[in-house]
Homo-oligomer: A and B are copies of this chain.
Amino acid sequence: MLKRNPSLTDQAKSTIKSRIVNDEYVNGRIPSEAILADELQVSRTTIRDALSRLENEGAIYRKQGAGTFVNQPGLQIKTRLEEIWSYEDVIAAHGYTPSTQILAVRREMARKETAVSLQIDPTDDIIRIEKLFLADDQPVILAHNHFAAELLPDSYDDDNFHAPIYEIFEENGRQQLTYYLSEIVPAIASPQLAQILHIQSNTPLLSFNEIGYNANNNPILKSISYFRDDLLRLRLIRRKSN
């Protein structure tokens, strides 16, 4: 029934996921692994991989001896912080149409702290981009991105930077952003920030300090950003780690 590539696991996962979303399982009970394996003509291992990933995403839960079930509360959360990728995705997941404004692009010497974070020579140039994200034309996130100048071609203009950062890296720098290590910090809107985000001064904000890593686990991006909390709500699932 299924073909290779995308992997059988991926296909099994999305098949099951769509059945869940379409409410095809009465009482939220998902067929046993053996039945699913038989039905989709794959091994039980493949089904188990698919179910494990759905469980991680919060879409289902399993009880040994009892069965596998749809997890309604988990299904409703569409913006899980651990899985969110670009800010465009965050905005879209909340049901808004994302757009961007480039407020500034600078080529400059790295500050010492930035050079350390990015493991580059302090005399090397970096690119600093100040980018505003809008949800249905309301400003919601202000991001400052820093990365080594050598990751970009010599000539560029501001319009290049409307695309998500990870796309820019993939196209120009032959680098793939694979994960972020993020620090969550509470902040208060300064008068300047308040003006940019169209909010009142001293409004509480969330700030993210993040380092983005490539496939070789080298830091390639430093990002500091500020979120308007009234439009975007950040959620995550916290589990026992074992």
Bound-state Cα–Cα, A233 to B183, Å: 7
With A63-B215, A71-B217, A204-B204 as contacts: A241 and B85 at CB distance below 8 Å: yes
Q: Does A161 interact with chain B (Cβ within 8 Å)?
A: no
Instruction: Mark each residue of chain A from 193 to 209: 1 if its CB lies under 8 Å from any CB of chain B, else 0.
Output: 00000000010111000
Residue of B nearest to A71 (CB): B217
Q: Do A84 and B238 have beta carbons less than 8 Å apart?
A: yes
Copies of this chain held together in the complex? 2
For A235, the chain B residues whose CB sits under 8 A away are 181-184
> Interface residue tally of chain A, by bracket?
35 or more
Contact between B77 and A240 (Cβ–Cβ < 8 Å)?
A: no
Binary contact readout A220-242 vs B (1 if CB under 8 angstroms, 0 otherwise): 00000000010001111111111
| Cβ contacts under 8 Å, A179 to chain B | 237-240
Chain B residues in 8 Å Cβ range of A81: 184, 236, 238
CB distance from A231 to the nearest CB of B (A): 13
B183 touches A85 (CB 8 A): no
Chain B nearest CB from A170 CB (Å) reads 12
Task: Find out whether the CB atom of A238 lies under 8 angstroms from the CB atom of B184.
Answer: no
A residues near B, CB below 8 A? 10, 57-58, 61, 63, 69, 71, 73-74, 77, 81-85, 178-188, 202, 204-206, 210-211, 213, 215-217, 219, 229, 233-242
9 contacts between A and B (CB under 8 A): A63-B216, A69-B217, A73-B217, A82-B238, A84-B238, A179-B240, A180-B237, A181-B235, A188-B202
